[in-house]
C-alpha cells in the first residue's frame, strides 16, 4: 500500500498539460471563449468534482509533446501546496480528442487510478 508522508493528504491527482503545444491542440479542435476551458478540459473538471479528495492540476509542459496533449492520473500526496506521486501516474495522450477525454473522465469517475481498469481506447 502507498504511504503518504506525515501530514500529507492522499488524493487522486489529475494533471493536464497547458504547455504551448497542448494548448494549441485543444484550441485547434474547438473554438472557445478566452475565459472558457475547451470541452476536453471541462469534462476533466466535472469528473474530478465527483471524486472526494481529488485534485485537478493545470501544469506547464509535461515534456511529452510527441504524444499529443497529455494528462496524467494517479495517487498522490498533497502537502503545503505541492503534489508528490505515490507511484508512477498513468499517462493518457491525445487528450484534445473529445472521445478520449470523455473516456478519461468516465474512468476518473468510475475507477481511477487502477491501471487495470483503464479503458482499452486509452491504452494506446
Cell numbers 470541452 label which residue?
A: 39
Q: Domains, the chain, ranges and CATH?
A: 9-116 (3.40.30)
pLDDT in tens, 23-72: 776 555 555 555 555 667 778 888 889 888 888 888 888 776 666 777 88
Residue 81 has pLDDT above 50, yes or no: yes
Q: Is 20's pLDDT higher than 70?
A: yes
pLDDT in tens, 70-79: 788 999 998 7
DSSP codes of every residue in 3-59: -PPTTPEEEEEEEEE-SHHHHHHHHHH----TTS--HHHHHHHHHHHTSTTEEEEEE
Amino acid at each position: 500500500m502507498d504511504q503518504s508522508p506525515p501530514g500529507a493528504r492522499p488524493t487522486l491527482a489529475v494533471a493536464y498539460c497547458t504547455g504551448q503545444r497542448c494548448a494549441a491542440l485543444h484550441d485547434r479542435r474547438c473554438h472557445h471563449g478566452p475565459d472558457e476551458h475547451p470541452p476536453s478540459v471541462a469534462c476533466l473538471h466535472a469528473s474530478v468534482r465527483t471524486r472526494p479528495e481529488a485534485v485537478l492540476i493545470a501544469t506547464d509542459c509535461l515534456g511529452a509533446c510527441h504524444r499529443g496533449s497529455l494528462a496524467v492520473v494517479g495517487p498522490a500526496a498533497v502537502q503545503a501546496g505541492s503534489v508528490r506521486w505515490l507511484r508512477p501516474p498513468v499517462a493518457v495522450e491525445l487528450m484534445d480528442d473529445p472521445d478520449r477525454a470523455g473516456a478519461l473522465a468516465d474512468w476518473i469517475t468510475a475507477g481511477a487510478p487502477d491501471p487495470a481498469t483503464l479503458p482499452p481506447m486509452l491504452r494506446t
